[in-house]
Structure 1
């Protein structure tokens, strides 16, 4: 009462969408434009009463039905424009009275929630509303059941999709028990598993238990349900989809030219090694290889035909990610199993560009050993040598620059601008060589180092890859290269990073 007094004093009205309880005697002299059961659209009072600001509005009024309180009324919407009032009336008249009839709930909070939902989703049916509000018992009503596979015209969403989006497992179970269609897609090409990808693993498991053929289907954005789960940063859903058989080798927007593995077996690797995956990397897409944090898991995934060179949403391979995370063991394991060392991400950066920016000398040396392209340029036209961060400490600067220079990384061409003394065509700075060592480290120490990196000496010639070396004698294998390159600067290959 006090609030109404101040609103009148200040000349302000309630928001047009606020549900208000009103008196019937205020509408005796108001013209009725439309009537539908207990819902009416009143026009402005002619002439309007200057003392009552509401007399100038078109107003949607709901008479509280199915009760003994015959004169209880609610104002659902007010507008000075007849067209907007008619549009709202059409959306309300087919949904609100039957909804109240079924639920027997007609209070201001309930009506407000209902009107707000219909304002946002005018095409929803009674089944959509019941699914959204989690009223699974309403699906016992034939008037609700008949809409079970209806779609929302603007979005194409079905009641099941709405229920999945809310994460209500019991609601989803109720709809599935009524044999709703699981193979429908919305206007964006999303099926029920695309929706489930952002919900919870229980719903994913329930849907995939039916062996749905839509597990690896693409939506119009080029995403499979697995990609959608990555975007939603839902690691439990990611695992559930992979365990159910989602193909981890499908790329975003790539409907062909993909190398399909045996995703069910890949799922088993993930299931058995859950703590060995870095969940924060999942939101960038990719495959379990991108998210692995141990050499053992990488080797297990590669053995199950997980595509070693597939890219994530940022265009990065698993090797890019291992470089960024500083996981030397994992990077060496990938390269030992044939990972391409010079693939470009969306910015044109190769793993070497990233390793240089990270000032990670051991990984730079490992990439060099496995034959990365020293002269590859990113989209800015920069080589790895040009990309050396000038703000790094002098010690790291010297080491990273000398490592690249020692294996032949070229300076920039004369026409290149913004070059420092370390990469300019006429520059003369090449870093500082490491201090000489009295003698070579014992072979036993090198063997231990190689073992920690997953590069056992017995596998020297298994891959047949050629590396770089610092003298004129070609080494017999990448292992010998690694041993020789490690003499540039002593390195530690223990510690896998995060």
Structure 2
């Protein structure tokens, strides 16, 4: 066996790279395509593998925020050569195919390199040539026996890749070579889904007009049609084409999301406006009870929220968990979003399934500025949740001193007790939050001083010589009490 044909002992070992091989006759277009499609890259972005994980992590109405660091690992994202597990000459064939270097491809084919060799994700040379749009390379591979319907481990074949990347001529060649047009990948994406998601209108037109029996409203495994995909990914032209072709506007996916939910969740303002123009129901709810306004608020898409509010969306609509849009805005800590919702009539005192109003959530997640905004909008500071905790109880539990000071300055009932019978002072003392205990005690003295008749006010009750109380003020240096010494005063409160 020649030295060039030996398989490395360990795929993780160092494997010499194949030659560049030039760019062949593809010219500048081939050079651009080569940056998008490399044999040693990760799988196609066509739901493989990142997109499926992204849908699992995020959906309209899920409490999980859309992941910032996680994105679909597309073909443009390279992986080390050492992971492809190809023979050296097989790797060179893949490289030549993606660069449209037909001269090198012919040399390798003459040396009987396996034309259907697969890399670590099951991708063959035809996949790279089709995805990069190289007509000459595709024809050469087909002439020498490449299987037109070979799939990678994600169910992607050359036909689906050509639709995804918008290479209409490649798709036509593959169809004429006998490719199955009613194919789909392992997530159920068809040619129509691929073209719609990437916004390839000419590809959509060819699929609908020239291919037989293509189902316009075929759903993938998430229950989403091409119309959903175009809306979710902000492809306005593709959306218009599908609408003009007579697709079902009101269809829902398996989570009950309409195209309106998907566009609002991704912040696609132009698509959202178009969907409103065709009169999709603004109050349609998904299985979790979220409207498009909830989804836009959760995604922090302020422009979409303002558009929906202007169109008459119900700002106080509640989900299955009795959460309003203001709850979602509060969980994100967005003052601008909360301000817009309040200005549109959002109620600050609606309680969710756990009895928490927006101010409970703002306190729990330590958003002082948002707490002040909600107070200014009329939030009930003595409202209790299902644990009978007030916002001050939560501030004491988490030792949020800035928020506690805001609440105490506004004036709260210090005698309210939670389900364990503890006041906010007792909660702070139990956790040994000394500064907070001192602050609550001073506030209690001030409240008593305010209620006392003016004639009875004295220095003994906390009045200074000028007649005003030494409150509010920030306690910068904690008073040196032990936890044991704090308990008696806390328990009496």
TM-score by length of 2: 0.53
Q: Which residue of 2 aligns with 1:5?
A: 4
Q: Contact 2:222/2:254 (CA < 8 Å) preserved in 1?
A: yes
Counting only pairs closer than 5 Å after superposition, residues 35-434 of structure 1 correspond to structure 2 as: 69=140, 71-72=143-144, 74=146, 92=157, 103-105=168-170, 121-141=186-206, 142-143=209-210, 147=214, 149-199=216-266, 200-213=268-281, 215-253=282-320, 282=329, 284=331, 291-292=338-339, 301=344, 304=345, 306-311=346-351, 316-320=356-360, 324-326=367-369, 330-335=373-378, 339-345=379-385, 349-356=389-396, 357-359=399-401, 360-368=404-412, 372=413, 374-377=415-418, 382-388=422-428, 392=433, 394=435, 397-404=437-444
Q: Which has the higher helix share?
A: 2
**Shift in CA distance, 361/182, structure 1 to aligned 2, threshold 3 Å:** same
Q: Contact 2:162/2:168 (CA < 8 Å) preserved in 1?
A: no
Structure 1 alignment gaps of length 5 or more: 31-39, 43-52, 108-113, 264-276, 409-431, 442-486, 493-498
Inter-partner Cα distance in structure 2 for 1:229 and 1:318: 17
Q: Which residue of 1 aligns with 2:464?
A: 437
**Shift in CA distance, 247/96, structure 1 to aligned 2, threshold 3 Å:** same
Inter-partner Cα distance in structure 2 for 1:134 and 1:344: 50
Q: Contact 2:296/2:305 (CA < 8 Å) preserved in 1?
A: yes
Is the partner of 2:192 in helix, strand or coil? helix
- 1:193 deviation in Å? 1.0
Q: CA RMSD in A?
A: 5.3
Inter-partner Cα distance in structure 2 for 1:59 and 1:136: 27
Inter-partner Cα distance in structure 2 for 1:152 and 1:11: 42
TM-score by length of 1: 0.53
Q: Contact 2:199/2:238 (CA < 8 Å) preserved in 1?
A: yes
- 1:391 deviation in Å? 5.7
- 1:248 deviation in Å? 1.3
Inter-partner Cα distance in structure 2 for 1:285 and 1:358: 18
Is the partner of 1:197 in helix, strand or coil? helix
Q: Contact 1:319/1:334 (CA < 8 Å) preserved in 2?
A: no
Q: Contact 1:233/1:283 (CA < 8 Å) preserved in 2?
A: no
Inter-partner Cα distance in structure 1 for 2:163 and 2:400: 63
Q: Contact 1:197/1:237 (CA < 8 Å) preserved in 2?
A: yes
**Shift in CA distance, 346/120, structure 1 to aligned 2, threshold 3 Å:** farther
- 1:163 deviation in Å? 1.6
Report Cα offsets for 1:225-273 as digits up to 9, x if no partner.
Answer: 2222233333333333222222111122158xx99xxx9xxxxxxxxxx
Q: Which has the higher strand share?
A: 1
**Shift in CA distance, 387/326, structure 1 to aligned 2, threshold 3 Å:** farther
Is the partner of 1:128 in helix, strand or coil? helix
Inter-partner Cα distance in structure 1 for 2:166 and 2:302: 42
Inter-partner Cα distance in structure 2 for 1:59 and 1:440: 83
**Shift in CA distance, 150/489, structure 1 to aligned 2, threshold 3 Å:** same
Inter-partner Cα distance in structure 2 for 1:183 and 1:216: 12
Inter-partner Cα distance in structure 1 for 2:421 and 2:212: 61
**Shift in CA distance, 78/5, structure 1 to aligned 2, threshold 3 Å:** farther
Q: Contact 1:132/1:163 (CA < 8 Å) preserved in 2?
A: yes
Report Cα offsets for 1:2-44 as digits up to 9, x if no partner.
Answer: 9x9386244659459x99458778999x9xxxxxxxxx9x9xx
Is the partner of 1:105 in helix, strand or coil? helix
Inter-partner Cα distance in structure 1 for 2:255 and 2:242: 22
**Shift in CA distance, 198/121, structure 1 to aligned 2, threshold 3 Å:** farther
- 1:158 deviation in Å? 0.6
- 1:189 deviation in Å? 0.7
Q: Which has the larger radius of gyration?
A: 1
Inter-partner Cα distance in structure 1 for 2:6 and 2:289: 52
- 1:145 deviation in Å? 9.4
- 1:168 deviation in Å? 2.5
- 1:345 deviation in Å? 4.8
**Shift in CA distance, 101/404, structure 1 to aligned 2, threshold 3 Å:** closer
Aligned residues: 346
Is the partner of 1:240 in helix, strand or coil? helix
Q: Contact 1:127/1:145 (CA < 8 Å) preserved in 2?
A: no
Report Cα offsets for 1:428-455 as digits up to 9, x if no partner.
Answer: xxxx9874233546xxxxxxxxxxxxxx
Q: Contact 1:136/1:174 (CA < 8 Å) preserved in 2?
A: yes
**Shift in CA distance, 98/364, structure 1 to aligned 2, threshold 3 Å:** closer
